[in-house]
Structure 1
Amino acid sequence: MKRLQAAPDTVGPVGPYSQAVISGHLVFTAGQIPARGSLDQQLDTFEDEVRQTLRNLEAILIEAGSDFDHVIKVNGYLTDPAQLEPFNRVYTEILGHAPPARTTVCVSLWGVTMEIDCVAELIDSESRKHK
């Protein structure tokens, strides 16, 4: 098992956890939030927050040896049911070409509007040669 503490250009963990854990051929990410540079930087719209959260998630997957094409399962945590439509719109732009299994729930979060985590397969070395 391998633990990834912090991917470049992401806000590192704000608690005692790893950003990702690699076990066997799978990558399990911690939940990512709409942070860019620091937790204090605010984004203009909820759709911008979804895009930033997915960028953070993608950076972690790449650092771990995977990417969005290898995502198996996504969990989305929203703080308001009205967020579902804009969430789906951005999600479809980025992951809509071959959508993984997904669960999306409305919850109370600590000071953020949303969080996303996922499970992905590692890209095998043969696949990397052809990209």
Structure 2
Amino acid sequence: MKTISTTKAPAAIGPYAQAIVANGFLISSGQIPLTAEGELVEGDIVAQTNQVFENIKAVLAEAGLSLNNVIKTTVFLKDMNDFAAMNEAYATNFGDHKPSRSAVEVARLPKDVKVEIEVIAVFE
């Protein structure tokens, strides 16, 4: 196992890693819309989703991967009414690549953000 850590994404705010690499897979912790400096991105679901993707891309890049290596995502939404707007930002970030996905509404997210996303990526 190898721990992935980058200063280009927000530091872990608890006893966890930004991501772990094991057996040919990268498994990320959930990313929320914090800047690398730890500042919360305010705004609508699109702004928050785009920041989450910037964080995911930074963690993936630290491991030598990109969004094209992602095979599974889990999206946690504070409000399922934000699904359509989140989905547009999600599609823009992934382009033609379409990993498998789960999306669920949850009661509460860290720092009361609107979205959190975790990924599983594969080394090819």
Do the structures match in fold with TM over 0.5?
yes
Per-residue Cα deviation, 1:66-105 (whole angstroms, up to 9, x for no partner): 1101110000000001110111000111114021000000
For residues 45 and 10 of structure 2, what CA distance do their matches in structure 1 show?
19
- For 1:87-102, list aligned pairs within 5 A: 87-102=86-101
TM-score (norm 2): 0.91
**Percent identity over the alignment?**
29
TM-score (norm 1): 0.86
Q: CA deviation at 1:52?
A: 0.5
Q: Which amino acid aligns with 1:118?
A: V
Q: Who is 1:2 aligned against?
A: 2
Q: Which amino acid aligns with 1:116?
A: I
For residues 41 and 101 of structure 1, what CA distance do their matches in structure 2 show?
28
Q: Who is 1:129 aligned against?
A: none
Contact kept? 2:70, 2:119, Cα under 8 Å: yes
Per-residue Cα deviation, 1:7-65 (whole angstroms, up to 9, x for no partner): 13211000000001000211000000000144444333220110010110010011012
1:120 is paired with a residue whose SS is strand
Q: Who is 1:113 aligned against?
A: 114
Q: Who is 1:128 aligned against?
A: none
Per-residue Cα deviation, 1:99-120 (whole angstroms, up to 9, x for no partner): 1000000002132221000000
For residues 37 and 98 of structure 1, what CA distance do their matches in structure 2 show?
25
Q: Which amino acid aligns with 1:120?
A: A
For residues 65 and 37 of structure 1, what CA distance do their matches in structure 2 show?
18
> Which 4+ residue blocks in structure 1 deviate beyond 6 angstroms?
none
Q: Which residues of structure 2 form unaligned runs of 5+?
A: none
For residues 97 and 71 of structure 2, what CA distance do their matches in structure 1 show?
10
How large is the Cα RMSD of the aligned pairs? 1.4
* 1:24 and 2:52 aligned: no
For residues 24 and 7 of structure 1, what CA distance do their matches in structure 2 show?
21
Q: Which amino acid aligns with 1:121?
A: V
